[in-house]
Amino acid sequence: MSAQAVKDSVRQGKSVTLVGGSFDLLHVGHVHLLERSKKLGAVLVACVLSDINVASYKGSRRPIVSEKYRAQMVESLRCVDRVFISDIDTSHPDILSILQPNNVIFGIEDTERWRATATKREALLKVEFPTIAIHYLDRYADISISTSA
């Protein structure tokens, strides 16, 4: 399903929350993120990053699970209403222009690179998409699972 097909399948007037990620080796931290994201809107849309996208930032040995199966696993969760696979990041203007979500969710990473990227991304989003609420969700303190290489 494409971002446009997702948009077309959501009834007008419904609050849409968008969350994205690689979801490679789906784990309880992902499930908590998705469940918490669902509480922010009527429709939770998950963007699963494509194999090409994941390999570009995690290395040539990733992802471990193909995009098709990662999307299928995410879609099987009760809290997720729609799923699509994308070669571009969730916060890309093309995706946001199509979906026009009410909320965009970002998971928090405790790295300097992530903080710099998050600050720049948030500034751009506030200018281009002032009506979208941006939320940052922490990892749960009792969860220490990482799929980074």
pLDDT of residue 56: 86
| Dihedral of the alpha carbons of 98, 76, 110, 127, in degrees to the nearest 10 | 10
Give all strands of the β-sheet with 133-137 in edge-to-edge order.
82-86, 43-49, 16-21, 103-107, 133-137
Let me know if residue 134 belongs to a domain: yes
pLDDT of residue 110: 62
CATH code, domain carrying 120: 3.40.50.620
Q: Give residue 5's identity as a one-letter amino acid code.
A: A
Q: How many Å apart are CA 26 and CA 84, to the nearest integer?
A: 16
Q: 95 is in which domain, residue-wise?
A: 3-7+24-138
pTM for the whole structure: 0.86
pLDDT of residue 111: 67
Let me know if residue 18 belongs to a domain: no
Count of domains for the chain = 1
Token pair listed for 7: 């948009």
| Residues counted in the chain | 149
Let me know if residue 12 belongs to a domain: no
Let me know if residue 102 belongs to a domain: yes
- The conformation of residue 132, written as its DSSP 8-state character, comes to S
Let me know if residue 13 belongs to a domain: no
The pLDDT tens digits along the chain (149 residues) read 788 888 888 878 899 999 999 999 888 989 999 999 999 999 999 999 999 999 887 888 889 999 999 999 999 999 999 999 999 988 899 999 999 999 999 887 766 777 778 888 888 899 999 999 999 887 664 544 444 44
Let me know if residue 131 belongs to a domain: yes
pLDDT of residue 147: 43
pLDDT of residue 144: 46
Q: Is the peptide bond before 63 cis (omega within 30 degrees of 0)?
A: yes
Let me know if residue 145 belongs to a domain: no
Let me know if residue 146 belongs to a domain: no
